[in-house]
Chains A and B, each alone.
Chain A
Amino acid sequence: MLDMFTQNINPYYLQVANLLGIYIILALGLNLITGVTGQLSFGHAAFMSIGAYTAALLTLKMHLPFALSLLAGGCVACIWGVLIGFPTLRLTGDYLGIATLGFGEIVLVVFTNLQITGGAIGLAGIPRYTNVFVVYLLVAITVYCMYRIQYSRFGRALLAIREDEIAAAAMGINTTIYKVQAFAIGAFFAGLAGGLYAHLLQYLNPNDFGFARSFEILNFVVLGGLGSIPGTILGTVVLTLAPEFLRFIAEYRMMIYGLLLVVMMIFRPNGLLGGVDLSRVIKRYRSKRLERASARSISSS
């Protein structure tokens, strides 16, 4: 059944769909850090690379099952999130962003020079375990987790930190612990996505995880609307599919992509769904329909 489905679909579309799912997981993790908690992170790709290399090496060298290696990739990225989080989260605003940027570049250089990761040549021959069902199962789990986190007591504390850190601290929120936890969760999902990425492309190169990748993920989140889960997904879909649709103009495509970022920011600086509460929109739409229905029933009777 699985084979039937995947064989009848254009492999190019399938690959794009897989990557899209992986990017959604990545972007939702960053959304928790930057969108919900308000901590600027320019090093999300570093956590992705840590997860990717961990998962790939575990299946390659230790022959661990796919699920376990994915989980291990997420956990190792999470541990690094905590290690980086504790010292650097004392920094605020742009300085935190800069420190995470530095961390990302250091990870890149380390992976380029390590023996076990294949250095600059990269790591090849990773078994292809990732398929579209695994990816979207994990997307669904991630979305569910993010909703549970964001609308819990913990999530509201994170929002409070984003709005005003000093006030949040004054209300008894241990801001450092909360920020580190958000950072760790975001890093975990980045690691998970990294593992999927490694087992999808079957080849890893440290240069795939440079700061350009980190900014790509940040673009998804900001373009969609900070702190909004549907927004983050929409932003990821738009920015992942745009370069694919633009393939017909070949070499000019990234130029258009750059312009697209500028134009979108000028017209919607808060992101596509920034400040839009989707549940409220749906509720309003429903109540209007109800009103119309009741008006009809009154007029007919």
Chain B
Amino acid sequence: MFWQQLINGLTLGATYALIALGYTMVYGIIQLINFAHGEIFMVGAFVGVLAITILKVNIFVAMFLAMLVCMALGVTAERIAYRPLRRSDRLAPLISAIGVSIFLQTLMTVIFGPQPQAFPQVVEDALYKLGPVQVSRVQIIILVVASFLMVGLHLIVKYVKIGKAMRAASEDYDTAALMGINVNRVISFTFALGSLLAAAGGVLVGMYFNSVFPLMGVQAGLKAFCAAVLGGIGSIPGAMLGGIFLGIAEVLGIAAGYGDYKDAVAFTLLILVLLFRPTGLLGRPVQRKV
């Protein structure tokens, strides 16, 4: 029973982690809480549904298309709504992000209506027994895709030149610019990467829960954001750890009979962790300059 819940929690957590990575990377570089990120995730899920129903492609091609669309969307949103505000007060880009999020939510509600849409059955139901636990084919796909993307992200950030530039910019934005790094390009790239992961998360979540709806980004986005903070915002391994931790905690909470309070589990954990480790599990302490 426990191991079964652990697998379920891991699956849920992997999707949270995929979304959380976008929050954490953007925050790491420009200190912006990108509240429109949950909506990118939602748009990704819808593009996945459209690709499967209209273009009749398989799930992986659909996911790829969703990634492309969301990458364009994320980069455009950054260009229009956040870049002009980069040098202003911290709250201005935040409000702008909320504006983008309201815009996307309403846009999708106008196009598709507020009611949930069924996600087409693309993967046949099949259960595999692994000792005491049962794993469905959908869960395996989620876990494999998520790990593949996370390893890919790790390799890009660690070994590719633009990944190194990202790390430099998150270390010190201004010095990175002085060293000849084109920070605008780095930020665009960060938004592209984050949106790509969110889109994949959107398609996977849609497939897992069999439904997509215009407001699905709100709760998922908030929880993923919690996961990012829990792990230490700005830290990529932190976001992965936070997401998985949160997913497992939530599933165990439901299993323990607190299903009504499942949405509060994440936030209670978040507040507790923040009180004892104010910068999250893997976060570095904030330096206070006098």
A contacts, CB < 8 Å to B = 34, 40, 87-88, 90-95, 97-99, 101-103, 105-106, 108-110, 112-113, 166, 211-212, 215, 218-219, 222-223, 226, 251-252, 254-255, 257-262, 265-266, 269-270
Contacts and interface: CB of A to CB of B under 8 A. Distances in A.
B3 interface: no
19 contacts: A92-B286, A95-B229, A95-B279, A102-B266, A105-B263, A108-B263, A219-B95, A222-B94, A251-B110, A254-B105, A255-B102, A255-B103, A257-B102, A259-B103, A260-B99, A262-B80, A266-B85, A266-B96, A269-B88
A34 B104 CA distance: 27
Contacts of A88: 271, 274-275
A94 B27 CA distance: 10
Contacts of A108: 263
Given A222-B92, A269-B89, A109 B264 contact: yes
Contact of A265 (B93, B109, B260): B93
Given A252-B110, A261-B99, 17 more contacts: A40-B91, A93-B90, A94-B31, A98-B274, A99-B274, A102-B266, A102-B268, A105-B222, A105-B264, A219-B95, A254-B106, A255-B106, A257-B106, A259-B103, A262-B80, A265-B85, A270-B89
A99 B31 contact: no
Given A90-B278, A254-B106, A261-B102, A102 B226 contact: yes
A259 B278 contact: no
A265 B96 contact: yes
B99 A103 contact: no
A166 B290 contact: yes
B264 A106 contact: yes
A101 B102 contact: no
B33 A94 contact: yes
Contacts of A110: 264
Interface string B228-255: 0100010000000000000000000000
B26 interface: no
B92 A269 contact: yes
Contacts of A40: 91
Across the A-B interface, the 10 shortest Cβ-Cβ residue pairs: A261-B99, A258-B103, A269-B88, A258-B102, A102-B267, A269-B92, A109-B264, A262-B99, A254-B106, A255-B106
Contacts of A257: 99, 102, 106
Contacts of B103: 255, 258-259, 262
B129 interface: no
B128 to A, nearest CB: 35
B261 interface: yes
A179 B107 CA distance: 40
Tell me the interface secondary structure of chain A in the complex. helix
A255 B104 CA distance: 8
B279 A106 contact: no
A124 B250 CA distance: 32
A113 B106 CA distance: 28
Contacts of B288: 166
Among A215, A251, A265, max chain B CB count under 10 A is at: A265
Interface in B53-107: 80-81, 84-85, 88-96, 98-107
A105 B278 CA distance: 19
Contact of B102 (A34, A103, A211, A254): A254
Nearest to B274: A99
A262 B288 CA distance: 31
B89 A106 contact: no
A266 B260 contact: no
A181 B278 CA distance: 22
A93 B88 CA distance: 16
Contacts of A269: 85, 88-89, 92
A105 B222 CA distance: 10
A208 to B, nearest CB: 15
A265 to B, nearest CB: 4
B102 A99 contact: no
B270 interface: yes
Contacts of B261: 109, 113
Given A91-B278, A101-B222, A265 B268 contact: no
Contacts of A226: 89, 91
B100 A258 contact: yes
